[in-house]
Amino acid sequence: MLRTTAAPQPLGVAMIGYAFMGKAHSNAWRNVGSYFDVPAFEQKVLVGRDAGQVAKAAAKYGWAESATDWRSVLERDDIHIVDICVPGWMHAEIAIAALEAGKHVLVEKPLANTLAEAEAMTDAAVAARSRGVQSMIGFNYRRVPALALARELIAEGRLGTVRHIRAAYLQDWLADAESPMTWRLRKETAGTGALGDIASHAIDQIQYLTGQTILEASGVLKTFVTQRPGPDGPEDVTVDDAAWATFWLTGEMGASVEASRVATGQKNSMQIEIYGTNGALSFNLENLNELNFLDATLPPREQGFRRILVNEPEHPYLDAWWPQGHIIGWEHTFTHQIRDFLTAIASGEAPSPSFEDGLQIQRVLAAIEESAKNKSTITAVEHKTLQTEGA
């Protein structure tokens, strides 16, 4: 008698949210299987509050169907992965429910709007992991090939002992005081402003690139435009427009971060400089395919930053894309992120960054907020109890 083995069931994916991040994630789900060897999956359902708009988005972005009730979607046996792309105030409720329903979860950064929500999400993720259910937070810039290469060079010791890091994430989409009010400018929906929205990326990079952990933080937050035009008149802005922070890390390492959404002329510039005893690196997101490297072990007459065009098949992720020398773009970071998430699910290994990593970033963000409020330095950032010095 001939025996046949049924093919593994494709992983059914549901995505909640279809605006800016939903579009970026949809593009990644639609393309990842064309370039990387990943487990079979299907874009089952896109979820949003407006039935008409989410149906249009689902048809446009490659989803088989649409829905307006995320809770009913979690009850479906054909859904195995939930990708959460909604504002931060909804993250905790949806992620915890999805994990408890046995769904693998990917959630956009920052993990939540509050430290308490982030802790609850992490507890749920740890419990789910013991049942083989995986979770990951979407810090997509870890998947920029040039930054992944920078991490490799640092781990190989090419910079010697890293002493000092400078990071600045600058945008100008709120520089005009007449720019209208959005959910990103309300604390109840966004949690924070530039701090959680973009400084969180820079903070994650500092720790990701070096493998070190922030122990101490001090910060300043500023809202330059305190009111914005709303549909019914001026509305108060209740989050920051810009943030500044300094850190002390394990490994006797210092760092600083600057973030602004009112930096006139800066469109989406994340600049990172890393200085070590034997060399230095610099990167700017607006030149995503380039990494600048200085080898300080060379004679002084030969030293100087040299440009590495990160487009070779030997560079991280790039063997799946185009012939050498052909650049990739911002959207590819999300494709790489989905690739890594699916690969981790297939292997049974916990993907990175984990909810624990997201919680640690949330503690840093909370420490900066507390420091800015009390004009203090926050120590023991890695612990649940934040300690204050110099209040």
The reply to whether 6 falls in a domain is: no
CA distance 268 to 17: 23
Confidence check: pLDDT of 1 > 50: no
The reply to whether 135 falls in a domain is: yes
Confidence check: pLDDT of 3 > 80: no
CA dihedral (304, 203, 196, 102) positive or negative: positive
Predicted confidence at residue 225, as pLDDT, reads: 98
Quick one: 112 and 175 in the same domain? no
Would the pTM count as exceeding 0.75?
Answer: yes
Confidence check: pLDDT of 387 > 70: no
Quick one: 61 and 153 in the same domain? no
Quick one: 83 and 177 in the same domain? no
The reply to whether 289 falls in a domain is: yes
Instruction: Quote the domain boundaries for residue 103.
Output: 11-140
Please write the tens of the pLDDT for every residue from 309-323: 999 999 999 999 999
The reply to whether 53 falls in a domain is: yes
The reply to whether 76 falls in a domain is: yes
The reply to whether 386 falls in a domain is: no
Please write the tens of the pLDDT for every residue from 162-195: 999 999 999 999 999 999 999 999 999 999 999 9
Helices (H), 108-197: 115-129, 145-155, 187-190, 194
Q: Of 140, 159, 184, which closes a domain?
A: 140
- The mean pLDDT value for 8-12 works out to 91
Please write the tens of the pLDDT for every residue from 248-295: 999 999 999 999 999 999 999 999 999 999 999 999 999 999 999 999
The reply to whether 304 falls in a domain is: yes
- The mean pLDDT value for 213-223 works out to 97
Q: Of 140, 159, 181, which closes a domain?
A: 140
Confidence check: pLDDT of 375 > 80: yes
The reply to whether 384 falls in a domain is: no
Please write the tens of the pLDDT for every residue from 361-372: 999 999 999 999
Predicted confidence at residue 380, as pLDDT, reads: 59
Quick one: 153 and 194 in the same domain? yes
H or E stretch at 244 = strand 242-249
Report whether 59 contacts 167 (CB < 8 A). no
Q: What is the CATH number of the domain that holds 221?
A: 3.30.360.10
CA distance 31 to 123: 32
- The mean pLDDT value for 64-75 works out to 98
Quick one: 25 and 73 in the same domain? yes
| Total number of domains in the chain | 2
Quick one: 174 and 313 in the same domain? yes
Q: Of 119, 140, 161, which closes a domain?
A: 140
CA distance 60 to 237: 34
Quick one: 151 and 121 in the same domain? no
